[in-house]
Amino acid sequence: MAEVILKNVSKIYDDKTKAVDNVNITIADKEFIVLVGPSGCGKTTTLRMIAGLEDISEGEILIDGKVINNLPPKDRDIAMVFQNYALYPHMSVYENLAFGLKLRKLDKHEIDKRVNEAARILGLEKYLDRKPKALSGGQRQRVAVGRAIVRNPKVFLFDEPLSNLDAKLRVQMRTEISRLHKELGATMIYVTHDQIEAMTMGDRIVVMKDGCVQQIDTPLNLYNLP
Ligand code: ADP
Ligand code: ADP
């Protein structure tokens, strides 16, 4: 269960850049919402505020009715998948998946269970002993997604996760992430500048420009699809 509400949220950076300007979005439990818009319109900043990686200058973010503005990232039940996979090169896939859980001192059996479950969901069982450099781009991106899954978050944030992949793989991963959304039943917030991704993946799409929300609607209504 995770409803995410952004209420009059703004971000003003130290150099006075207003990156996000009075944004209001209500994201339903289990919704797949896509933030779309040109580079520099405030998508990443919005995600980073939800994750707690960036302070909120004005307004409130609520998860299930609770204001999370001052909650540290580790207490937010949120996991983020980044554009560059940020895998540890010297560690195996298993160790990459397990690392954060070890730091949080989960017991060995629980770690093993979660890592194997994530590997199953992502089709990575055969690659658990490999180092990232021995994986394809798509497999690396799956490991990055796996590192989010093992955290058991209520909310997934994706920051242009497919932009480093070639066109064919992007199409394949789009389908996989949509399938993942159904299988996990989590709330997902997905940032992209790719209209096709937005259109094919989103339950609803938030169109941003210059830090503001211009439109929020279903792909059907937004793109006048037949
Ligand atoms: P998007 O993800 O849509 O490309 P961003 O959220 O990254 O947009 O950036 C929104 C605006 O905020 C841009 O004008 C960008 O240059 C600015 N910005 C991003 N990060 C910082 C920062 N750390 N300090 C100052 N300005 C920033
Ligand atoms: P990692 O698995 O990336 O090494 P850790 O468990 O060491 O992460 O956590 C370091 C900090 O970063 C914590 O505050 C944690 O909540 C946050 N963090 C780690 N991974 C993510 C993620 N995928 N999304 C959001 N926050 C994360």
ipTM of the complex: 0.76
Three-state DSSP at 173 gives: helix
Residue in 37, 2, 27 with CA at minimum distance from that of residue 192 = 37
Residue nearest to atom 3 of ligand 2 (CA): 100
How many angstroms is it from 45 CA to the middle of ligand 1? 6
Residue nearest to atom 8 of ligand 2 (CA): 100
CA dihedral 142, 146, 147, 148 (to 10 degrees): 110
Residue nearest to atom 24 of ligand 1 (CA): 13
* pLDDT for 224: 76
Residue nearest to atom 25 of ligand 2 (CA): 79
How many angstroms is it from 150 CA to the middle of ligand 1? 29
Q: Note whether 206 and 213 are within 8 A (CB).
A: yes
Residue 85 has pLDDT above 90, yes or no: no
Residue partners of 48: CB distance under 8 A and separation at least 6: 54
The mean pLDDT of the chain is 93
Residue partners of 154: CB distance under 8 A and separation at least 6: 1, 2, 63, 77, 78, 186, 187
Torsion sign over Cα 114, 120, 121, 124? positive
Q: Is 193 near ligand 1, meaning CB less than 6 Å away?
A: no
Atom of ligand 2 nearest to the CA of 74: 16
Residue 94 CB neighbour total at 10 angstroms: 19
CA dihedral 85, 45, 176, 151 (to 10 degrees): 70
Residues in the chain: 226
Residue partners of 4: CB distance under 8 A and separation at least 6: 25, 26, 27, 50, 61, 62, 63, 155, 187, 189
Q: Is 13 near ligand 1, meaning CB less than 6 Å away?
A: yes
CA atoms within 13 A on the CB side of 198: 23
Residue nearest to atom 16 of ligand 2 (CA): 74
How many angstroms is it from 222 CA to the middle of ligand 2? 35
Global confidence as pTM: 0.89
How would residue 225 be classed by pLDDT, with cut points 50, 70 and 90? low
Q: Is 123 near ligand 2, meaning CB less than 6 Å away?
A: no
